[in-house]
């Protein structure tokens, strides 16, 4: 039962942080089109890892902007979510989108030779 509750808290945390990051006025964060890809809260609700990805901007500057706005984000989480303890936030860059795009480009670049394609079609017919 506890895992189900933590899953709901993780999902709600992800949605809430995504909404709050749109309100951040720091130009390092607001100009980078940050998307929150996941959230992971510890069982005691004291710490939360927020996974993010960004379309543009310097990665170091973006991380510095997120770290500096962590207090504001935490305060807004306390206002919007009904939790006994508001977790301390740690922002972690998520490279899974770029990795997925890289794998897709590799798969698209594979060329099948005509002889191999003929043998595959013959096997399907049998």
What whole-number distance in Å separates Cα of residue 93 and Cα of residue 53?
A: 6
What does the pLDDT read at residue 79? 94
What whole-number distance in Å separates Cα of residue 29 and Cα of residue 68?
A: 10
What does the pLDDT read at residue 1? 46
SS3 24: coil
Element (H, E) at 11: helix 2-23
Average pLDDT over residues 23-27: 90
SS3 81: coil
- Minimum mean pLDDT range among 24-28, 41-45, 75-79, 109-113: 109-113
104 or 3: whose pLDDT is higher?
Answer: 104
The secondary structure of 64-75, three-state, reads HHHHHCHHHHHH
pLDDT tens-digit map of 28-50: 888 888 899 999 999 998 999 99
Report all structural domains of the chain as residue ranges with CATH numbers, in order of start. Answer: 2-94 (3.30.300.20)
126 pLDDT exceeds 80? no
Radius of gyration of the chain (CA): 21
């Amino acid at each position: 039962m506890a895992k189900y509750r933590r899953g709901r808290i993780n999902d709600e945390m992800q949605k809430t942080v995504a909404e709050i990051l749109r309100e951040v006025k720091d130009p390092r964060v607001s100009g980078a089109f940050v998307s929150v890809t996941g959230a992971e809260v510890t069982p005691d609700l004291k710490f939360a890892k927020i996974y993010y990805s960004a379309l543009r901007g310097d990665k170091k500057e973006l991380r510095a902007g997120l770290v500096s706005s962590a207090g504001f984000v935490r305060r807004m989480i306390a206002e919007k979510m009904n939790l006994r303890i508001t977790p301390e936030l740690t922002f972690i860059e998520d490279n899974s989108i770029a990795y997925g795009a890289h794998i897709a480009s590799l798969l698209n670049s594979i060329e099948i030779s005509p002889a191999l394609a003929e043998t595959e079609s013959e096997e399907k017919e049998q």
